[in-house]
Amino acid sequence: MISWAIAWTNAKIVNEYLSFYNLIFLRFCIGSLCLLPLVIKTKINSIYYNKTILYVLSASILFFIYNIAFFKGTYYGQAGKGAVFVTTVNPIITIIITILINKKIYVNEIIGILIGVLGGLLIMNVFNEGFSILIDIQNIYFVFCAISWGIMTVVAKYGQQRLPSIQFIFWCYLITTIIAFPFSNLNEIILTNLDSRFYLNFFLVSVGAMSFGTSIYIYATSIIGPVKSSVFIFSVPFLALGFANIILGEILSINVIIGGLLSILAIYVVNKKS
C-alpha cells in the first residue's frame, strides 16, 4: 500500500517526460522482465486451457484501461485527490461484484466499507465543497480507474484458481505490454535525454508500485479474497496525500488526518473475524 500511495505522486512527475502510452508500455515491459526470473524457476503452465486465457486477457485489458486513466488522471488532476477517490470507490465496486457472484456478504464487511467511504469523503472534503467535486471534469479519469480496478480484482481472484499467482501476474504484465505496444511511439523514448528525477520516479512507479506492490496485491486476493484484500486500499488515501504534501506541496488538512484514521479503522473492521 505504501508503494501504491507514492506512485500517484511519481506518476504526476513522469508525466512531464513521456506520453501516456509510452509510460504504460515501459511500465509493463519492465514489470514483466522483473518477474521473469521467478517464472523461469517454476514450471510454466499453459494459459490455453480451462478458460485461463480468458481471465488473463480480461485482466490485461483492465490493466491497460486502468493505466490510461491513471496517467491521464494524474496529469490533468491532483495526484493526492485522485488517489483518495480511486482507493475509496474501487473496494465498493469489488464488494458489489462479489455480492452478485457469491450472494453472500458479512455484516463486518459492510460496516468496514461504510467506514472507509466516510473516511474517503472526509479526505475529499465533500461535506464542505459538495458532492459535485466527485464528478468534476478533472476527476473523470479517476472514475475509470476505480471501476476498472474493482473489476480486475475479482477477475484476478478467479484467474489464480486456474494458474499459479506468479505466472498469472507475469502473463498479465506481458500481454498488457503487447497491448500497449501499437499505441506507443518508441522513437520518442530517448533515454539519454531523461534525467535522474525521471529515472527515480519511474523506478518507483514501475518496479516499486507494480512489480512489487501490485504483484503482492494480486497474490493476496488468492489468499484472503478480493473483498478483504481490496479494503487494505483504504490505507492508501492518507498515505498518498501525505506523499503529495511532502513532494508536490498539496495541502494536508485536519479533515485528511481524521479521514485517514477512519480508513485505517475500516481495514481492521473488515478483516476482523465474524
Query: Cβ-count burial of 124 within 10 angstroms (0-12 exposed, 13-18 middle, 19+ buried)?
Result: buried
In DSSP notation, 78-130 reads -HHHHHHHHHHHHHHHHHHHHHHHH----HHHHHHHHHHHHHHHHHHTHHHH-
Residue entry with cell 465498493: 92
pLDDT score of 128: 85
Give the single-character DSSP code of 16.
T
Question: Does residue 62 contact residue 151 with C-beta atoms inside 8 Å?
Answer: yes
For 106: left if phi > 0, alpha if psi spans -120 to 50, otherwise beta; the answer is beta
Question: Does residue 229 contact residue 153 with C-beta atoms inside 8 Å?
Answer: yes
pTM: 0.83
First to last CA, the chain: 25
pLDDT score of 47: 62
Q: How far apart are CA 264 and CA 238, in angstroms?
A: 9
Grid cell, residue 95, equals 464488494
pLDDT score of 200: 94
Q: What is the CA radius of gyration of the chain?
A: 18
Phi, psi of 44 (to 5 degrees): -75, 120
Q: What is the pLDDT of residues 28-79, one digit of tens each?
A: 999 899 888 888 877 666 566 667 889 999 999 999 999 999 999 989 888 8
Q: Which residue positions in the chain have pLDDT lower than 50?
A: none
Q: How many CB atoms lie within 10 A of CB 212?
A: 16
Give SS3 for 179: helix
pLDDT score of 44: 64
Helix/strand number for the chain, H first, E second: 13, 0
Spell 83-117 as b/e; 16+ CB within 10 A means b: bbbbbbbbbbbbbebbeeeeeeeeeebeebbebbb
Q: How many CB atoms lie within 10 A of CB 245?
A: 16
